[in-house]
Amino acid sequence: MPGFAKRIGIFLAVNLLILVTLSFTLNLLGVGSYFSARGINYQSLMLFCLVWGMGGAFISLGLSRIMAKWMMGVVVIDPNTTEPGMSELVSTVHNLARAAGLPKMPEVGYYPSPEVNAFATGPTKSRALVAVSAGLLQRMDRGQLEGVLAHEISHVANGDMVTMTLVQGVINAIVMFLARVIAFFIANKGREDSKISPNYLVVFLLELGLSFLGMIAVAAFSRWREFRADAGSARLAGREKMISALEELQRNAAYVDLTSKPSLASFKIAGKPRFMLFATHPPLEDRIARLKSAV
């Protein structure tokens, strides 16, 4: 129960921060109501949607390392630790980071979960976090672990956290813009000369429906990003290590995702897709087949 209360508190605090920050930003930009007696002010509406859509996404990105530590209970490992297993984990991550040309070594941590997974997050290549689960450390050998870590380092080197945020922010803005424009024309029965303000329940329902379409686009990009990180791991650690790691994930499919944190799902090495249209990761068999067929 205390853990649940803590997550609720974090959720409310972050959303309050986003609300205050973006409201202040809109006031600074002089964006007031985008509906008036003359109809829609498209310029104000576009700016409003961009600030809310992109701003919320980038604030979340800026807090991503902190949020991941709080939500997942990540224990950050001291780079100077003398504990053999932890020291080897840090050394492997740092060696891969240097090979990938990262400007600064990422933080390295683990989280106490029996799930077999790992993730990378952080706002920039210089402020990244790579974390592995206790379950993954227990079930994978050294070569498989290196393949997983190389995959996560590839995400950081590719700037995937930022590009995912950009994609999500653009989709958010488009959804908000279209929902309000469509709701306006529904309220006015398609007439330009009528200026009835839209019903906010209609706006909400349109946003809900359009968001599902947006999720399909974001998920498709995320799946492509996973294939690219697999290829990056093959270059950094060796193709056989990455293939072996993915095969081990197949064998431990029941333990791949036990934490149910949707906000981090797309950054983990594997997920549990229910519907492929909304899946953030391609099927493991497809990833293995692509690596095996790579020249």
pLDDT in tens, 180-231: 888 888 887 756 555 666 778 888 898 889 888 988 999 999 999 999 999 9
Q: Provide mean pLDDT across the span 160-170.
A: 89
Please report, for residues 33, 70, 163, the alpha-carbon distance to residue 36 in angstroms, rounded to integers and kept in the order given: 7, 43, 35
The percent of residues in the chain predicted with pLDDT above 90, rounded, is: 44
pLDDT at 77 (0 to 100): 95
Type of residue at 163: T
In whole numbers, what is the pLDDT of the chain averaged over residues?
84
Element containing residue 267 per DSSP (H, E): none
pLDDT for 288: 95
pLDDT confidence tier of residue 71, bands split at 50, 70 and 90: confident
DSSP helix/strand/coil, 113: coil
The predicted pLDDT at position 1 comes to 40
108 conformational bin, left if phi > 0, alpha if psi -120 to 50, beta if neither: beta
CA distance 160 to 163: 5
Once rounded to an integer, what is the mean pLDDT over residues 162-186? 88
Whole-number percent of the chain with pLDDT over 70: 79
Tell whether the model's pLDDT for residue 13 goes beyond 80: no
| Mean pLDDT, residues 59-64 | 83
Distance CA 217, CA 207 (A): 15
| Cα gap 49→172, rounded to integer Å | 8
Q: Which residues are catalytic?
A: 152
Least confident of 28-37, 85-94, 195-204, 213-222: 28-37
Q: How confident is the model at residue 33 (pLDDT cuts 50, 70, 90)?
A: low
- What integer is the mean pLDDT of 71-82? 91
Average pLDDT over residues 120-138: 93
pTM of this structure: 0.83
Burial (CB < 10 A; 0-12, 13-18, 19+), residue 286, is: middle
- Residue type, position 67, single letter: M
What distance in Å separates the CA atoms of residue 182 and residue 225, rounded to the nearest whole number? 32
CA 201 to centroid of chain Cα atoms: 28
